[in-house]
Amino acid sequence: MTSSPCTAKPSAISKEATRAHNEQLILAAAERIFARHGYRGASVQAIAEAARLPKSNVLYYMGSKQALYVRLLARMMQRWNALLDDISVEDDPAEVLTAFIRRKMQLSLRHPEGSRLFAAEILGGAPFLQEYLSGELRDWVESRARVFEQWAERGLMDPVNPVWLIFLIWSSTQHYADFEAQVLGITGKETLSEDDIEDITRFLSRIVLKGCGVRQHKKGRDVQSDAAPDLPFVAASD
Q: Which partner, its own copies, DNA, none, binds residue 116 by CB below 5 to 8 Å per kind?
A: its own copies
Contacts with its own copies: how many residues (CB under 8 A)?
69
The piece of 60-68, 97-105, 149-157, 209-217 that touches DNA (CB under 7 A) is: 60-68
The piece of 51-59, 82-90, 101-109, 121-129 that touches its own copies (CB under 8 A) is: 121-129
Element (H, E) at 96: helix 93-110
Q: How far is CA 158 from CA 80, 88, 102, 231, 236, in A?
A: 28, 17, 21, 17, 26
Query: Which is closer to its own copies, CB of 24 or CB of 134?
Result: 134
The piece of 48-56, 113-121, 138-146, 167-175 that touches DNA (CB under 7 A) is: 48-56
CA-nearest of 71, 50, 70, 66 to 5 is 50
Q: Which listed residue (24, 64, 130, 143) binds DNA by CB under 7 A?
A: 64
Q: Which partner, DNA, its own copies, none, binds residue 74 by CB below 5 to 8 Å per kind?
A: none
Element (H, E) at 179: none
Q: Is 64 in the site for its own copies (CB under 8 A)?
A: no
DSSP state of 5: -
Cβ 120 to DNA shortest distance, Å? 15
Three-class secondary structure of residue 177 per DSSP: helix
Q: Which listed residue (79, 183, 198, 216) binds its own copies by CB under 8 A?
A: 183
Q: In whole angstroms, what is the distance from residue 60 CA to residue 46 CA? A: 16
Contacts with DNA: how many residues (CB under 7 A)?
22
Element (H, E) at 11: none
Q: In whole angstroms, what is the distance from residue 84 CA to residue 81 CA? A: 5
Q: In whole angstroms, what is the distance from residue 117 CA to residue 115 CA? A: 5
Segment 83 to 112, residues that bind its own copies, using CB under 8 A = none
- Residues of this chain that interact with DNA (CB under 7 A) are 7, 10, 15, 18-19, 22, 42-46, 53-57, 59-61, 64-66
